[in-house]
Copies of this chain bind each other. A is one copy, B any other.
Amino acid sequence: MPFAARLDNVETSAIRELFKLLGKPGIISFAGGFPDSAMFDVQGIQAAVQKALADAPGPALQYGATEGYDPLRAQIAAFMHAKGAASVQPGGLIVTTGSQQALDLLGKVMVDPGDRVIVEGPTFLATIQCFKLYGAQMVSAPIDAQGVQVDRLEQLIVAHKPKLVYLIPTFGNPSGAMLSRERRLRVLELAVKYQTLVVEDDPYGDLYFGEAPPPSLLALSPQVPGSADWLVHCGSLSKVLSPGLRVGWMVGPAALLAKATMCKQFSDAHTSTFAQATAAAYLESGRMPATLQHVRQVYGERARAMGAALQRELGDAVTFTQPQGGLFFWARLTGAGGKLADAGELARRAIAQGVAFVPGSPFFAADPDPSSFRLSFATADVARIEEGIARLGRAL
């Protein structure tokens, strides 16, 4: 059967092949990118869906507006206000089927074949593939522990005139990096200076372990006149409440949201009103602050345990920055003491020792770093983390 040419731009993921091995009994996995199911507030969600179906069963089960279910849009706006984005209005956001759909809609609305898109190197794998399906040429901007290097980013914007710049400024996947406040303001200035759309993907910003991170680009945008016209912010309930609801949202310029809404109409008509009404009832119930406090505490503990275990078990063979939030460690093999420096080879040996993680190369749109790898500390408890990292030490 003759498939469309756009599929030729996307290869089967190397990670998918690895994931097939995870069914092996007894394996400890640091490979996933998902939250711990044990942390879901099942009771709260049960109460929310019952309330939604009791209060307004018709709207919760009927077709809904493509832009989103109004009570949820109001709750999301309030949630964003509480995080410092005071300018967000319910009518100034659309609900998406997870934030993945926001990326797909941005690709559909913005990207012509051959257009350049700048992403962080490394970045979220599904972002690269999603934009490539629309024919984007991906450009990779280097990062450090303070996130994207803004001087390099400016040079790349000048050189490539990208259709958009995609960033995960807060606890990036896979980098765990946190863009500094100073750099955030610089990014907003670049958006205005070069009239370039900047997409802020923010699924992890609520998952901080100590001090809160700097305000989001969205929350800072009033400080940089004109920047709101060149900024899209993508949010999600997936990492803090439940990925299974598939509830995300997108804040952006009105003209862009109108185009995205038209495309969404022909993509899935609207996000499940059943899930939206449940999410709205949950946010309205006031349980979210306690849920957030709980996940921050548990993930923080696991992150500290993993950092300590890595230093103890791998010593100077590995280098990393201790993450201040999110779900991930991003590390590099140093080759010190003649040890392995190739993370792909380490991943294969690790499987044999009963521990899994994801090598870093696939996360780069260009110039992969073969020494890099990603470890998720989200789904294993402290004892399993310590055992898993000990196995990793043996594999090395």
Residues on A facing B (Cβ under 8 Å): 1-7, 10, 12, 34-35, 37-38, 40, 42, 45-46, 49-50, 53, 57-64, 97-98, 100-101, 103-104, 108-112, 115, 126, 129-130, 133-134, 163, 197, 238, 242-246, 253, 255-256, 259, 262-263, 265-275, 277-278
Please measure, in the bound complex, the distance between the C-alpha atom of A55 and the C-alpha atom of B62, giving whole angstroms: 26
Select A268's contact among B12, B98, B110, B163, beta carbons within 8 Å. B98
Question: 17 other contacts beyond A104-B268, A274-B278, with CB at 8 A cut-off?
Answer: A3-B109, A3-B259, A4-B115, A6-B112, A7-B259, A7-B262, A37-B62, A38-B58, A45-B61, A62-B242, A62-B243, A97-B97, A100-B267, A246-B268, A267-B267, A272-B274, A274-B274
Q: Which residue of B lies closest to A40 (CB)?
A: B61
Please measure, in the bound complex, the distance between the C-alpha atom of A17 and the C-alpha atom of B127, giving whole angstroms: 35
Query: How far is the CB of A239 from the nearest CB of chain B, in Å?
Result: 10
Known contacts A46-B53, A126-B269, A269-B126; A108/B263 CB under 8 A: no
Please measure, in the bound complex, the distance between the C-alpha atom of A108 and the C-alpha atom of B3, giving whole angstroms: 9
Query: How far is the CB of A349 from the nearest CB of chain B, in Å?
Result: 27
Q: Are B242 and A270 in contact (CB under 8 A)?
A: no
Q: Are A197 and B1 in contact (CB under 8 A)?
A: yes
Chain B residues within an 8 Å CB radius of A38: 58
Select A100's contact among B35, B101, B109, B269, beta carbons within 8 Å. B269
In the assembled complex, 18 residue pairs joining A and B whose CB atoms fall closer than 8 Å, in A order, are A1-B253, A3-B109, A3-B259, A6-B108, A7-B259, A7-B262, A38-B58, A40-B58, A49-B49, A50-B50, A62-B244, A63-B238, A97-B97, A104-B267, A104-B268, A246-B270, A246-B274, A272-B274
Chain B residues within an 8 Å CB radius of A129: 265-266
Q: Are B259 and A272 in contact (CB under 8 A)?
A: no
Q: Are B45 and A268 in contact (CB under 8 A)?
A: no
Q: Are A244 and B61 in contact (CB under 8 A)?
A: yes
Query: How far is the CB of A126 from the nearest CB of chain B, in Å?
Result: 6
Q: Are A272 and B245 in contact (CB under 8 A)?
A: yes
Q: Are B42 and A53 in contact (CB under 8 A)?
A: yes
Chain B residues within an 8 Å CB radius of A100: 266-269
Q: Are A61 and B243 in contact (CB under 8 A)?
A: yes
Please measure, in the bound complex, the distance between the C-alpha atom of A104 and the C-alpha atom of B253, giving whole angstroms: 25
Please measure, in the bound complex, the distance between the C-alpha atom of A126 and the C-alpha atom of B265, giving whole angstroms: 8
Chain B residues within an 8 Å CB radius of A60: 244
Please measure, in the bound complex, the distance between the C-alpha atom of A7 and the C-alpha atom of B134, giving whole angstroms: 13
Chain B residues within an 8 Å CB radius of A163: 2
Q: Which residue of B lies closest to A258 (CB)?
A: B12
Q: Are B50 and A37 in contact (CB under 8 A)?
A: no
Chain B residues within an 8 Å CB radius of A97: 97, 246, 268, 272
Q: Are A262 and B10 in contact (CB under 8 A)?
A: yes
Known contacts A244-B64, A269-B100; A7/B57 CB under 8 A: no
